[in-house]
Chains A and B, each alone.
Chain A
C-alpha cells in the first residue's frame, strides 16, 4: 500500500508563487478531497503528487522515497491520474483508450499479455464501460466519457488515484455516479484517493477527510464537520457563507449567503 508525504513544498509558475511551504500526509487507503478557491493551486498540488512536476523546494515522498528519484515508469504503476480535461483529437475506441492504461506495464516491444487483458477487462467492468468498448470515445456523453478515463487510470492498476475535478461539467446524477464509483474503489478495493473538488457539498458528502488550501498552504483539514465551518470557508474563499445542518445529511451544507434571498440563520 502506498502513501504520500509532502513536506514544506514550494512551487511557482513563471516566478509567481503558488505553493509556499505546504505539508501534508496521505496515508494508504485514505479518501481525501482538496478544496479551495480557483487558482489556489489544487491542480498544481495534484501535478506535484503525480510526479509530473517537481517542487522548487521541499520534498514529496512516495512510500518514503523521494518521488523525483523514482522512474516515471514505476510511478505510473503506483499512481494514476484522472485530469480535469482530456482532449482526444483522434477517433479512438473506448477499449483502445482503456488499453493505453497498460502502457507502464508493457515491456519494450512486448505486446499485450493475459494479465494486461485481464486488467483492462476488470477496469471496464468496475466502471461499467464494458458495453461501450467499441464506441468512439468522443461520441460518448460526459458521464460515460469520464468513466472511460477512470477506467484507463484503473487499468494502470495503481495504488493511488489522483483526480482533478472529476465531476466537472456533469449533471447532478452523473456527479453522484462518479463520486459513488470513486468511494467504492476506495472502500472495496483499497485504492488511496485524492481528488481536487470544486463543490464543497459534494466533497463533504463523499469524502471523509477534507483539506482546504489557502495562500499556498493548508488552511484547515479534517473530517467534513470540522472543516466546513463558516469562519474557515469564509477565510478561504473570501465571501460570506451560511452553514446548514440537517438531521440526516452526513456533513454540513454550505450555501452562499445571499443578500437578497431569505436568510435562515443556523449557526
Chain B
C-alpha cells in the first residue's frame, strides 16, 4: 500500500500544484515577499520623510540617511535646516507610523489565529473600548498629567487597553479554562460598555468643547509621536511584542486545528492562549497610545498576506509586520498631504484605501477564500 519511493520526500515533483502560490515554492515565495515588502517599506519611509511644508527630494533624503548611518561619507549638499526637519520632525513620526502599522497587523494575525475567526482584529477583545475610555478620561480630567514623556491621553489609553484585557480575560475564565467564544462575547460586551461610557463622558463634559474635538480625532486615529524620546518607549514595547508574537507562531499553527488537537500535539493550550492574548494586547495598546484607534490595518493586512502567501504563521507574522508597517507609513503620508494644510485622521485613509484594495483582491482570487 505505501508508495514506491524509499526515503527522502520528492519535494520537487509538481511542486505546489494548488497551494497559494502556483509558480514558486512556498519558501521562495516567502523570501520574495519579504524582499518586496522591505523595498516597499524603505521606499515609503523615504518618500514620507520628504513630504510636508518643505519638500525634500527622495534623493536627498537617501543621501542624508546613508550619511548619518555612516555607510557613505558625503559632503552635505543640503541645508542643515532640512536635515533638522527630516531627523527631528519627520523621521520620528514616519517610524512611529511604521511601528504602529506593524503592531496592529501582528495583533490582527494573533487574534485571528487564536479565535479562528476572520472578523477578529486587534480590538476584538474589547481593548478599543478600554483605550478610548482611558484616552477620554485623560482628555477630560487629567489634561496636565504626564507619564514618562507621554501626555495623559496616550498614557491612559495604554493603561485602559491593558486593564480591559485583564478584566476581559478574568471574566472569561470558566474553571481554569478560557473558551474563545466566551472571550469574544465578554470582549464585545466590554467594548460596547466602555465605548458608550466614553460617549456619556463627552456629553457630560460638553463645555470642554476643545477636548471633545481632541477625543474625536483620537478615535479616528492619527500618529502624534513628536520626538525620539516618545518613539523610544513605544519602539521598545512594540519590539518586545513582535518578538513575543514570533515565538508564538508554532502554537498558533497548532491552534489552527482547534484547541483539542493542539493539546494532543503537546501544546500547553491555556498557557499559550494567555500568552497570545497578552502579547496581542500589548501590541494593540502600544499602537493605540501612539496612534489612536486606527481601524482596518489589523483586519485587512493579515487577510491580504494570507491570500498571497498562505496561513503558516511562521511566515505570516514576518510578512504582516513588514506589510502593516509599509501600509501605515503610506496611509499616514496621504493623511498629511491630501488636504493641505489640514491633516486627515489616518484611520479614514486606512479604511478608504484598504477597503477597496481588499475587495479587489477578494474578487480576483476566484476560489472561495479559506483564510
B8 CB contacts on chain A under 8 angstroms: 121
B19 sits at the interface (CB 8 A):
yes
A-B contacts, 9 listed (Cβ < 8 Å): A86-B258, A90-B311, A91-B306, A100-B254, A100-B257, A118-B7, A130-B10, A136-B18, A184-B1
A128 touches B311 (CB 8 A): no
The residue that B250 contacts in the complex, of A79, A91, A106, with Cβ under 8 A, is A106
B267 touches A72 (CB 8 A): yes
Distance of A137 Cα from B260 Cα, bound (Å): 18
Q: How far is the CB of A164 from chain B (nearest CB, A)?
A: 10
B3 touches A128 (CB 8 A): yes
B171 sits at the interface (CB 8 A):
no
When A100-B257, A134-B17, A136-B18 are in contact, do A52 and B7 touch as well, CB less than 8 Å?
A: no
- State the A residues within 8 Å of B (CB): 50, 52, 72-77, 79-81, 83, 86-93, 96-97, 100-101, 103-104, 106, 109, 117-118, 120-122, 124-128, 130-131, 133-136, 138-139, 156, 180-181, 184
B256 touches A90 (CB 8 A): yes
Interface residues of B in 254-286 (CB under 8 A from A): 254, 256-258, 260-261, 263-268
Supplied contacts A128-B3, A130-B5, 18 more A-B pairs, CB within 8 Å: A52-B263, A52-B264, A72-B263, A73-B266, A76-B265, A79-B264, A80-B264, A90-B116, A100-B257, A100-B265, A106-B250, A122-B7, A128-B2, A130-B9, A130-B10, A133-B9, A135-B18, A139-B18
B253 touches A100 (CB 8 A): yes
A88 touches B266 (CB 8 A): no
A136 touches B19 (CB 8 A): yes
A136 CB contacts on chain B under 8 angstroms: 18-20, 370
Distance of A33 Cα from B193 Cα, bound (Å): 52
Distance of A180 Cα from B261 Cα, bound (Å): 24
Distance of A106 Cα from B265 Cα, bound (Å): 11
Distance of A122 Cα from B9 Cα, bound (Å): 8
The residue that B26 contacts in the complex, of A73, A93, A138, with Cβ under 8 A, is A93
When A121-B7, A135-B18 are in contact, do A91 and B310 touch as well, CB less than 8 Å?
A: yes
A135 touches B264 (CB 8 A): no
Secondary structure class of chain A's binding surface, majority of residues: helix
When A52-B260, A76-B265, A184-B1 are in contact, do A117 and B9 touch as well, CB less than 8 Å?
A: yes
Q: Which of A73, A86, A125, A184 neighbours the largest number of chain B CB atoms within 10 Å of its CB?
A: A125
B264 touches A134 (CB 8 A): no
A77 CB contacts on chain B under 8 angstroms: 266
A96 touches B258 (CB 8 A): no
A89 CB contacts on chain B under 8 angstroms: 116, 118, 256, 370-371
A92 touches B310 (CB 8 A): yes
B338 sits at the interface (CB 8 A):
no
B16 sits at the interface (CB 8 A):
yes
A92 touches B260 (CB 8 A): no
Q: How far is the CB of A236 from chain B (nearest CB, A)?
A: 27
Distance of A124 Cα from B20 Cα, bound (Å): 21
A131 CB contacts on chain B under 8 angstroms: 3, 13
B247 sits at the interface (CB 8 A):
yes
B116 CB contacts on chain A under 8 angstroms: 89-90
B311 touches A101 (CB 8 A): no
Q: Which of B257, B312, B371 neighbours the largest number of chain A CB atoms within 10 Å of its CB?
A: B257
